[in-house]
Amino acid sequence: MFSPAIRKPHLHRREKEEATPSPPPPAPAHSPSPGGFALSNRPATGTPAPWTSSSLLARISTSKQTDRAGDSDQIQPVRVAEFPQIVRNAQANLLQKNFSGKNTLVGGIDKETSLAWMICGNELYIWSYLSSVSKDCLVLDVPSSLMGNKDTESICGNQWTLCIMRWGSSTATRKSEEMLHRRSSTGVILCNRRTQAIAYWPDIYDESSKSPALSLFDHSVTSPSDGISACYRFNSLIATSIPGGIHECIAIASEPTGALWLFQCSPAGILRREVHRDTLGDNGTDHHQRNDGGRSLAWLPSDISSEVADRKFFLLTNHGIQCWSISLLHGNNVKKIVSQEIVGSDGELGIKKDIAGQKNIWLLDMQIDEHGKEFSILVATLCKDRVSGSNYTQYSLLTMLYKSNQKFSSEDNVAKCERFLEKKAPSQVIIPKARVEDEDFLFSMRLKSGGKPSGSVIILSGDGTATVAIYWRGSTRLYQFDLPWDAGKVFDASIIPSAEDRDEGAWVVLTEKAGVWAIPEKAVLVGGVEPPERSLSRKGSCNEAVAEEKRRSQAFSASVVPRRVSSEAWSSGDRQRPAFTGIAQQVVVDEEAEMLLNRLFHDFILSGAVHEALQKLRVAGAFEKEGEMNVFVRVSKSIVNTLSKHWTTTREAEFLASTIVSSLSEKRQKHEKFLQFLVLSKCHEELSSKHRAAMLSVMEHGEKLSGVIQLRELQNALIQQRSSTHLSPQSKTPTAGALWNLIQLVGEKARRNTVLLMDRDNAEVFYSRVSDIEDLFYCLSHQLRYIITGEEHPSVQMQHALELSNACVTLVQAALYYREEHKDWYPSPEGLITWNSQPVVRSGIWSLASSVMELLREPGAADMPMKSNLWSQLEGLRDMLLEGYMGLLIAKFERGEEHGGLVQEYCERRDELLGSLYDLAKQIIEAKYQESREGNDNLDLKESIFREVTSPILATAKRHEGYQTLWQICYDISDTVLLRNLMHDSVGPHGGFSFYVFKQLVNNGQHAKLLRLGEEFQEELASFLKDRKDLLWLHEIFLNQFSTASETLHTCALRLSSGEDADLTSNRKSLSFVERRRLLYLSKIAATAGKDVDYEMKVARIDADIRILKLQEEIVQHDPEYAQGKYTCKLLRPSELIEMCMKGDRELSLKAFEVFAWTSSSFRSSNRGLLENCWTNAANQDDWVQLSQASISEGWSDEVTQESLQGTVLFNASRLCYSQDAVVFDGTFEEVLPVRKEDVYARGLESKCFSVEEVLMQHDVFPDAGKLMMTAVVMGKELSYNEQADGPVEMDS
C-alpha cells in the first residue's frame, strides 16, 4: 500500500516514446505458471507475471539502466527466486483438493542459514532461496499429531514457528557453504504454537533421521478458561545449539501469560519443563489479560555474552523487558537477571503513559541488532482525538541502547528492576493516525531490523502485509511491498546475506504465491511515502481525512499523480520529478551527455560517420568528470557489462555455455568499435591528454574482456576434459571443479550486492560483469579456504590449486597481451595505477600463491609431474604478483606518495616466492638428474640440468632484485664468474647485489674472499666497509691509500666498544690493550708510509694516544675492580682516567697531570675545571701546615727548602706541566691555566681562566702555608724536567 511513485521521464524522451511507441512484450494470456496451475486473482494481461524476469525488464531498458550496478534507478521489487517445482506442485494439489484449512499454507525465512521453508498440508519444504532456481528442496513429513485440529477457527497470524540450526560451522563457513550451495548438517525445530506440540529433526540431510522426535502437550490438565481455541499458547520460540553437544540444542518458548517453557532437544528425544510461571499470577484466566504477559523472545548475540557457556535472552512483556540467563552446560538453569520498565511514568526511560488522549499502549515486538547494541521495539498506542472524539491507533518505533558491560546485583535469585537500557532517541512515529485494530491483529505483527537502507525496519502484519519504515532526511518514510498482481500474503521477511561480511543487506520477502522478492534500497528511499493516516493491514483506513489529504496534495503540486502511490504504475512511465538541487542538476547534465554519446556511437555503428562528435560532446559537458564518473568510462563499462537477452535460467547448460561465448564475442567487437569511434572523433586525443585516468579505464575494460574470454575458453576446455575422462562421479558433472566453484562465489557475491541480479545464474552474472573482474581476486583472498578445503586429500587440493592458478594466469596474461597489442592506444602511464596493481588483485594472487607453496611444502603430497605443473603455475603467479607490485611502486614514486610499507611487503613476498620456487627447482633437478644419469655420477650433467631449470628463476630474481636467490644459486654451484657478472649487472639502491654479497661474506667470516672481490669492485667495497673499520684499512692498504688507512686504523684502535658498530660487528669481542696498541703501531707505520704534508703531526698524535693507553694500563691496576676483569679490555675516556686518579694515592694524583699532558689543547680548554680540581687534589696530598711550621721553626735555607719541597706533589706536578723541558702535546698548560695571577693579566686571559695561584688561594690551608705552597709550584716550574720517556715511543716486541 506504500509503494513507489514512478518518476516521470524527461520531456524530450517522452516525446520520442509517443512518436515511436515501443510496447513491452505482452504477457501470455492465461499462461500456466511453472508449477502447472494458475494463481488466483492474477491479471490476464498488461503487467508482468511472476515468471517474468526482473533482469529481463532491465535488459529491454536503456543502457543506463543496465549499467551502474543495475539498481541505481530501480525502485521496483526484484524477483529473487521462484518456488521450487515441488513446492508449486504441492500448492496446486492444495487448490485442487479445496483444502479447508486456511492456515495450512504457511512459510518463513531463516536469517542465519538463508533457508526458506513452507508447510503445504502435512509436508514441510525447506530450500535455499538464494539460488535463482531452487532445484534442491528437502521435503519432511509433518506428523499428524503435530497438526492439531484442522477444524479449529482460524485466527490472525501463523500458528507455526520454526527454528533452524547449523551444526559445527562458523558464520564464515556457513556463508561460504551457502554461496557454493553445499549441504551441511542442519537441525530443525517445528512448533505448533496453538497446541504447544514440538517436532525436532536432528539432521534434515541425514536419511536415517527423517523421523522427528516429538513432544506433545496434554491439554486435559488445562483450564477451559484459557481460551485455547481463540489464541496461541506460544507466541515466541527461540533456539540455540549446546556447545560441545552432538545435534543437541535447547529451545525456549513464551506464552502470552508470561510463562516460559524450556525444551531440551537431542536425537534421543525432547525434554519439556516449565521454567517460569505466569507473570499475572492467576494463570491468565482473565480473557482480557491473556496477552498482557510475554510478547516475544530474542537472544543476545553470542559474541556479546561474557561467557560461552551462558547465554542471555530477553523477554518483551506488556510493560517492559526482562533479561534472562541460561546455563547451556550446567543443567540448563534459567534465571531472571533484571527487568526494566519501558511503559511508565518516566518518559526518559521509555514511553510515558497516562497522557491526555492516551487510552492504551501495547509493546508488540522486539528486535536486537547483530552487534547486541540496539533494541528496536514496535509500539502501538490507542488514542482518542479530542476534537472529533474518534479513536485511532498510532504506531511508533522505540530504539534503546544496551549497556553490555553493566553488572547486575541479585539477592536470593530475586531479580532487581535496574536500568540496562537507555533511550537512544524519542520514539519514531511510523503512522500517526491509523484505524483501530483488534488485539489479535496487533499481536500478530512482527518486527525485523538490519536491512538496507541502514536503520530501516520491516513490519509484518498477520494478514500478510510487509511495510518498510525508515527515518530519512528528517522524516519517516514508508514503503509497503506490493506487486501488480496478487502475490498472496507475505509470510516472512529477512535480509540477503552480504558476501563481504557486512551486516546489512537488501530486504527480502517470502510471498504466498509469487516466490521470493527483494526490495532494493532505492525503492525504499525514492519510492517511500510519508506516513499517511492509514493502517498497516489490508483493510485500509477508516479515517476520512485521507481523501482530504489527497486533495490538498493534488492542489499543492500538479506534478504528483492524484491516485494511490503503488507499483500499479510500473508500466505507465510516470515518475514524480524531485526538487532539483545542485547535485541533481549535475546528474541530469551527466545523463544527457551519456545519452548523447550513446546516440553518436550508435550512429557511428550504422553509418561510420562521427558528425562533429567532439564539439557536441564538449558542449554537453562529457569531458568534465574524471575516473569512473567520466561519461566515456560509463559507456565503455555498459558495453562490457551488458546482460545478454538470450540468457535465461531455464535453459540447459550447453545452451548457456554457447550464449556466453557469443555474447562475449559481441562485446569485444562492440568495444573495438567504440575505440575506433574515439579515435575517428578525436575524443581519444582529448582523453589521452587531459583525462588520462579515464582513458586508461576504457582500455582496461578491453583488457578485462580479453581476459574473461580466455577464461571462458579455459573453462570450456576443462568441461570437455571432464566429460571425456573417467573421473569420480562427483567430478563428472560439468559444474564440478575449483574454477566452477570460484565462478559461483564471484557470481553469488555480485548477486547479493546487486539485488537486480538475484534472478540470474551465478555463471551468467560472472561473465556479464566484466568490469568487476577484481571480485574474482577478492574471493581468492577471502574465500579460498572454502574451495581448497583441508578435508580433501592433498592430491585433490593440489589439483584444485593447479586449476585456479591456471585460470588466474590465463586471465591476467590475456589482459597483458591486450595491453601490449594496443599499447599505442594507451595514455601516458606516469602516475597511473593499473587494475592488476590494485590491492585486491595482489591480495588474491598472493593468497593463491601462498596456498600453492603450503601444499608444495607437505612431504609426499604429490608426485613429481604434479609438482612440475604446480611449479610452472607458481612461476606465472610470481610474475603477475611481482609485476603488479613494480607497477604500483613506480606509480607511487611518480606521484610522490609514501611507499615504504609497500616496498617492505614487496620484498618479503618476493623472497618467499623465489625461495619456494628454488626449493622446488632443486627437487626437480634431482629427479631429472636421476632419470638422465647412467649409473655413474656426472657432475657436468647435473650442473647443466641445474642451469637449465633455474634459468627462469635467475632471470626473475635479477629483474626484481631477489639477491637472496641470486646468492643461493651462485653459492650452490660455486660459480664465481656468474657471481661477478651479476654483481656488475645488478646495480640497485643500497649498493645493489654487490653489497648483499659483501654482507654474506662478512657474516660467514670469509674476509679473504671479501678482500679479493675488492680487487675488482674497489669503489663498491670501499663504500660497503665504511662501517667496518676493522676491515676497511686492509682494503685501503691494497689501494695504496696509506694515509686514509692510518686514519682508519687510528679510529678503530680508539673505538670505545663493539657497540659502536653493532650492525656489523656484534659478533666481535672488545679489543684488548695489546690489540689496540698493535693497531696504533700499524696506524703509525701507515702514516709514515703515506708521508702526507702533516704526517708528522699525525704520528705525534698517535704517539700521544699510545702513551695514554699505557697510562690507563698503569692506572687501572690500582683500582679494586681491576682484579675482577672490569677494565681489562674497556677503553676509558681521558676524563674518566683523570677522575680515577683523583680518587687514588699520591702516585695516581700525579698521573692525572700526565694524562692532561698527552691530550689535546682543546681537551684541556674544555676541561679547565677538572684541571683546577687536580691542583686542589695535589695540594691535599701533603701536610702543608706542618711543613710551614717546620720551615719557620727550623729556619730553612733555600737549599733546605728546595730539598724539602721536591718530594711534594705540587712541586712535581708543576715541574711536569710548566718546566722548560716539560713534554706536553699540542700546546702548553700556560695557555689554559697560568701559574701566577699576574700571568693571567699578562696573557689577557682574565675573562677566561684562573691561575694556579688563584686555585690554591681557595685551599683551606692557604692562609697558613700559602707562601710555601706557591714556592713549591714556582720552584717546580723553574727546574728542568728530564725523563727518558721524552723520546719517540718504541713498538712492543
Cis peptide before 453 (omega within 30 of 0): yes
The mean pLDDT of 131-153, rounded to a whole number, is 74
Identify which has the larger pLDDT, 533 or 65. Answer: 533
1243 Cβ contact partners less than 8 Å away, ≥ 6 residues apart: 1230, 1231, 1234
**Average predicted confidence (pLDDT) for the chain:** 80
**Residue matched to cell numbers 581476459:** 707
* 490, β-bridge pairs: 511
Integer Cα distance of 689 and 1093 in angstroms: 63
In the prediction, which pLDDT does 419 show?
Answer: 81
Integer Cα distance of 490 and 462 in angstroms: 9
pLDDT digits (tens, 9 = 90+) for 1170-1190: 999 999 999 999 999 999 999
Closest to 425 measured CA to CA, from 457, 397, 391? 397
1040 Cβ contact partners less than 8 Å away, ≥ 6 residues apart: none
For 477, list phi and psi in degrees, rounded to 5: -125, 140
Residue 104 reports pLDDT greater than 70: no
Closest to 1037 measured CA to CA, from 1017, 1011, 1062, 1058? 1011
In the prediction, which pLDDT does 863 show?
Answer: 79
Residue 909 reports pLDDT greater than 90: yes
Q: Which amino acid is at 178?
A: E
Identify the band that residue 576 occupies on the pLDDT scale cut at 50, 70 and 90. very low
The mean pLDDT of 346-371, rounded to a whole number, is 80
Residue 989 reports pLDDT greater than 90: no
DSSP for 418-437, written as a single string: ---EEE-SS-EEEEEEE---
Closest to 105 measured CA to CA, from 509, 493, 490, 517? 490
For 1078, list phi and psi in degrees, rounded to 5: -65, -40
Question: Are 670 and 640 spatial neighbours (Cβ–Cβ below 8 Å)?
Answer: no
Question: Are 435 and 535 spatial neighbours (Cβ–Cβ below 8 Å)?
Answer: yes
Identify which has the larger pLDDT, 150 or 1063. Answer: 150
Any idea what the Cα angle at residue 1094 is, between residues 1090 and 1095, rounded to 5°? 40
In the prediction, which pLDDT does 408 show?
Answer: 61
The CA distances from residue 74 to 24, 69, 78, 268, 1152, in Å, are 17, 10, 9, 51, 94
Query: Cell triple for residue 1168?
Result: 679547565
**Cα dihedral angle (448, 451, 454, 458), rounded to 10 degrees?**
-40
pLDDT digits (tens, 9 = 90+) for 42-95: 333 333 333 334 443 333 333 333 344 344 446 788 888 889 999 999 988 888
Closest to 815 measured CA to CA, from 828, 799, 801, 834? 834
pLDDT digits (tens, 9 = 90+) for 543-565: 433 344 444 344 433 333 333 33
The H helix count followed by the E strand count for the chain is: 43, 32
1207 Cβ contact partners less than 8 Å away, ≥ 6 residues apart: none
Integer Cα distance of 1263 and 582 in angstroms: 97
pLDDT digits (tens, 9 = 90+) for 619-666: 988 898 888 889 999 999 999 998 876 444 445 556 666 778 888 999
Integer Cα distance of 602 and 1200 in angstroms: 126
pLDDT digits (tens, 9 = 90+) for 287-345: 444 445 788 999 988 765 545 678 889 999 888 899 998 988 777 788 888 888 888 77
In the prediction, which pLDDT does 443 show?
Answer: 86
pLDDT digits (tens, 9 = 90+) for 587-628: 566 788 899 999 999 999 999 888 889 999 999 888 988 888
Count of other CB atoms within 10 angstroms of residue 1236: 16
Integer Cα distance of 501 and 34 in angstroms: 35
In the prediction, which pLDDT does 182 show?
Answer: 65
Identify the band that residue 263 occupies on the pLDDT scale cut at 50, 70 and 90. very high
Q: What does the chain come to in residues?
A: 1293
* Segment among 640-649, 993-1002, 1031-1040, 1157-1166 with least mean pLDDT: 640-649
* 236, β-bridge pairs: 254
The mean pLDDT of 1105-1129, rounded to a whole number, is 80
**Cα dihedral angle (1083, 1088, 1089, 1095), rounded to 10 degrees?**
100
Residue 523 reports pLDDT greater than 90: no
The mean pLDDT of 201-209, rounded to a whole number, is 85
Write the DSSP symbol of residue 749: H
Residue 1284 reports pLDDT greater than 50: no
Residue 151 reports pLDDT greater than 60: no
Question: Are 106 and 122 spatial neighbours (Cβ–Cβ below 8 Å)?
Answer: no
pLDDT digits (tens, 9 = 90+) for 826-875: 999 999 999 999 999 999 999 999 999 998 888 776 778 888 898 899 99
In the prediction, which pLDDT does 351 show?
Answer: 81
In the prediction, which pLDDT does 937 show?
Answer: 80
Query: Cell triple for residue 1220?
Result: 722548560
Query: Cell triple for residue 447?
Result: 518486527
Integer Cα distance of 117 and 732 in angstroms: 31
In the prediction, which pLDDT does 729 show?
Answer: 44
pLDDT digits (tens, 9 = 90+) for 786-816: 898 888 888 889 999 999 999 999 999 999 9
In the prediction, which pLDDT does 565 show?
Answer: 31
Integer Cα distance of 436 and 419 in angstroms: 33
1135 Cβ contact partners less than 8 Å away, ≥ 6 residues apart: 1167, 1170
Integer Cα distance of 132 and 134 in angstroms: 6
Question: Are 66 and 768 spatial neighbours (Cβ–Cβ below 8 Å)?
Answer: no
Q: Report the first-to-last Cα separation within the chain, whole angstroms.
A: 110
The fraction of the chain above a pLDDT of 90, given in percent, is 39
| 3-class state of residue 209 by DSSP | helix
In the prediction, which pLDDT does 25 show?
Answer: 35
In the prediction, which pLDDT does 1012 show?
Answer: 92
Sign of the C-alpha dihedral computed for residues 271, 273, 275 and 278 taken in this order:
positive
Residue 566 reports pLDDT greater than 60: no
* Segment among 71-85, 224-238, 1017-1031, 1104-1118 with least mean pLDDT: 224-238
In the prediction, which pLDDT does 283 show?
Answer: 45
Identify which has the larger pLDDT, 389 or 974. Answer: 974
In the prediction, which pLDDT does 178 show?
Answer: 60
pLDDT digits (tens, 9 = 90+) for 165-189: 888 765 555 555 665 656 778 899 9
In the prediction, which pLDDT does 1292 show?
Answer: 59
Identify which has the larger pLDDT, 537 or 674. Answer: 674
The mean pLDDT of 230-239, rounded to a whole number, is 78
CA 771 to the chain's CA centroid: 22
Question: Are 671 and 699 spatial neighbours (Cβ–Cβ below 8 Å)?
Answer: no
Integer Cα distance of 473 and 479 in angstroms: 15
Identify the band that residue 532 occupies on the pLDDT scale cut at 50, 70 and 90. low
In the prediction, which pLDDT does 485 show?
Answer: 77
Count of other CB atoms within 10 angstroms of residue 124: 24
